């Protein structure tokens, strides 16, 4: 009876774990409530018979459901009881899963120290047991913990580890698909053999009917020939007896083949259920990954300067920011000092999650480097490059990843209107009196380079009234589109800026966006896009 209650509770728990776009929140709450009700019925029965595994399983499932429902008061007690029991039984697989959910519980309460302590134990058990699924989940949760406490380096490393392990797990799932296809092939082969066998039996049956017809006709013709009739009757009896023996043997063979086919069908059903379970796990993992990335977007948005800062310091401006994925490898940055404002537009290596981690490093280092006493544009880039190389442990070895960023950085003296510009691959455009002047960047990145590093060039520009400057990454000019499917390119981008430079900045942003959409058409967005315009 305890197993029955436990199985019913498991069914309701799986129904509650369904996506919210297929069931309502009220339905989910009802399913979870029913599941806990049945687990609470099975728990005393398991306790009465002393079935430790059932007791541990009930405590674990109740704790996990309450964690999903956000009822944290009753989570830890159940999970700790489950953990102690699995530890006593030496069930390392379930113990590792329980440590994982205790870590998730502490993450939900924002107690990241205890979360990391339990998640590390889950990860150690996963490595000991070679459990790819548990290792991927533990690394993913640790990445969230490190990101929450500002340890972006470890957050990045754990995130990368989680994705690598998950890819291995998916490859194993693909191998199981191939095995299932082989089983289906064998079943179809068996079915074809049985169909051929049945055709043979049908021919034998027709032959028997034909024989019986001949016997009947002979009996009427040889009615007066008693001896001959008796001979034919005896002969017919013997033929029928042999046919019956043959049919009996064939029937036994058919029954045996049917049993084999039923066994194969049971194996296929079992494999199908396993595949469906793995598919459900993959869907859940995909949802968790997307949720993690959306949370990372909130962190990235929070650390970039608010638009109100631009409005206060440079009232006439626009920012056209269009990440390719949820999070971006491009970022913009601004800081107000005593007599200066510092503005930067940067493009990190890659896009999506790897690029976003690099952007967080860049923003953190710029916040540390730029001070009232350090406002030299080229010096800021030199210092930023040193910190990036040190943080990523980069050397000049050929097989090493060349991660880093391209950047356009400007230091503007508010009182004298003097602008300092330094750039790593990203140039600066200045439009004055209807003419566009390009200040070229140094052809070396913020990070490791094929050549020994030299100081970045510092350009000094005296701004006049109504001057407009543009900072940008290469995402806009590298976008494929148009009638021939080529890149937008720098020349066309400069012509666009010259054509709209006399319009208000907000209107310029709208034209830039409309031009991009018309150019891209049905092509995919290739990279993150960032364009900043400021008029003085």
Joined tokens for residue 497: 């800026």
288 contact partners, CB below 8 Å, separation of at least 6: 140
34-84 residue pLDDT tens: 888 888 888 788 888 888 788 888 888 887 888 888 888 878 888 888 888
- Give the DSSP letter of residue 335: E
Per-residue pLDDT, 425: 96
525 contact partners, CB below 8 Å, separation of at least 6: 322, 324, 479
Q: Which residues pair with 446 in a beta bridge?
A: 405
Identify the band that residue 218 occupies on the pLDDT scale cut at 50, 70 and 90: low
514 contact partners, CB below 8 Å, separation of at least 6: none
Per-residue pLDDT, 491: 96
Per-residue pLDDT, 293: 77
Burial string for 224-258 (b: 16+ CB within 10 Å, else e) reads eeeeebeebeeebeeeeeebeeeeeebeeeeeeee
How far apart are alpha carbons 320 and 310 in whole angstroms? 13
Identify the band that residue 199 occupies on the pLDDT scale cut at 50, 70 and 90: low
- Give the DSSP letter of residue 371: B
Contact 320, 530 (CB under 8 A): yes
Contact 344, 332 (CB under 8 A): yes
Per-residue pLDDT, 20: 45
402-414 residue pLDDT tens: 789 999 999 999 9
412-446 residue pLDDT tens: 999 999 999 999 999 999 999 999 999 999 999 99
pTM, whole model, 2 decimals?
A: 0.51
Per-residue pLDDT, 260: 82
Half-sphere exposure of 102 (CA within 13 A, CB side): 27
CA distances (Å), origin 466, targets 189, 243, 417, 432, 504? 81, 108, 12, 7, 12
């Amino acid at each position: 009876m305890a197993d029955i209650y436990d199985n019913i509770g498991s069914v309701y728990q799986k129904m509650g774990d369904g996506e919210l776009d297929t069931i309502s929140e009220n339905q989910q709450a009802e399913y979870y409530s029913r599941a806990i009700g049945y687990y609470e019925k099975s728990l005393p029965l398991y306790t009465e018979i002393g079935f430790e595994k059932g007791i541990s399983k009930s405590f674990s499932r109740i704790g996990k459901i309450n964690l999903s429902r956000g009822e944290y008061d009753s989570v830890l007690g159940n999970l700790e009881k489950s953990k102690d029991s699995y530890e006593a039984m030496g069930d390392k697989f379930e113990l590792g899963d329980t440590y994982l959910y205790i870590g998730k519980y502490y993450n939900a309460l924002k107690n990241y120290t205890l979360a990391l302590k339990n998640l590390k134990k889950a990860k150690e058990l996963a490595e000991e047991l070679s459990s790819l699924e548990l290792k991927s989940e533990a690394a993913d949760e640790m990445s969230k913990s490190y990101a929450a406490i500002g340890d972006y380096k470890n957050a990045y490393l754990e995130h990368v580890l989680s994705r690598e392990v998950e890819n291995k797990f998916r490859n194993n799932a693909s191998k199981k698909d191939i095995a299932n296809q082989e089983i289906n092939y064998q079943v179809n082969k068996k079915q074809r053999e049985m169909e051929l066998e049945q055709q043979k039996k049908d021919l034998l049956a027709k032959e028997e009917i034909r024989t019986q017809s001949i016997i009947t006709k002979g009996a009427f013709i040889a009615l007066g020939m008693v001896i001959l009739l008796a001979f034919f009757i005896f002969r017919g009896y013997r033929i029928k007896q042999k046919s019956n023996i043959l049919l009996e043997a064939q029937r036994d063979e058919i029954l045996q083949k049917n049993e084999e086919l039923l066994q194969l069908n049971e194996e296929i059903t079992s494999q199908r259920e396993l595949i469906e379970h793995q598919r459900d796990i993959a869907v859940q993992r995909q949802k968790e990954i997307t949720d993690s990335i959306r949370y990372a977007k909130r962190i990235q948005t929070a650390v970039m300067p608010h638009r109100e800062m631009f409005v206060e310091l440079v009232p006439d401006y626009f920012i056209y920011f269009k990440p390719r994925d949820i999070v971006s490898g491009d970022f913009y940055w601004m800081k107000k000092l005593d007599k200066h404002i510092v503005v930067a537009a940067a493009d990190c290596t890659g896009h999506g999650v790897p690029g976003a981690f690099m952007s967080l490093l860049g923003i953190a280092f710029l916040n540390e480097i730029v001070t009232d006493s350090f406002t030299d544009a080229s010096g800021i880039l030199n210092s930023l490059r040193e910190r990036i190389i040190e943080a990523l442990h980069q050397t000049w070895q050929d097989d090493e990843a060349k991660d880093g960023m391209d950047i356009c950085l400007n230091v503007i003296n508010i009182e004298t209107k003097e602008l300092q510009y330094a750039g790593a691959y990203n140039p600066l455009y200045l439009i004055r009196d209807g003419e566009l002047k390009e200040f070229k960047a140094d052809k070396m990145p913020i990070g490791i380079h094929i050549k020994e590093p030299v100081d970045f060039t510092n350009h000094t520009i005296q701004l006049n009234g109504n001057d407009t400057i543009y900072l940008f990454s290469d995402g806009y000019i590298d976008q494929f589109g148009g009638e021939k499917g080529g890149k937008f390119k720098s020349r066309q981008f400069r012509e666009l800026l010259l054509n709209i430079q006399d319009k208000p900045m907000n209107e310029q942003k709208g034209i830039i966006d409309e031009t991009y959409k018309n150019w891209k058409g049905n092509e995919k967005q290739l990279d993150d896009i960032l364009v900043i315009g400021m008029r003085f």
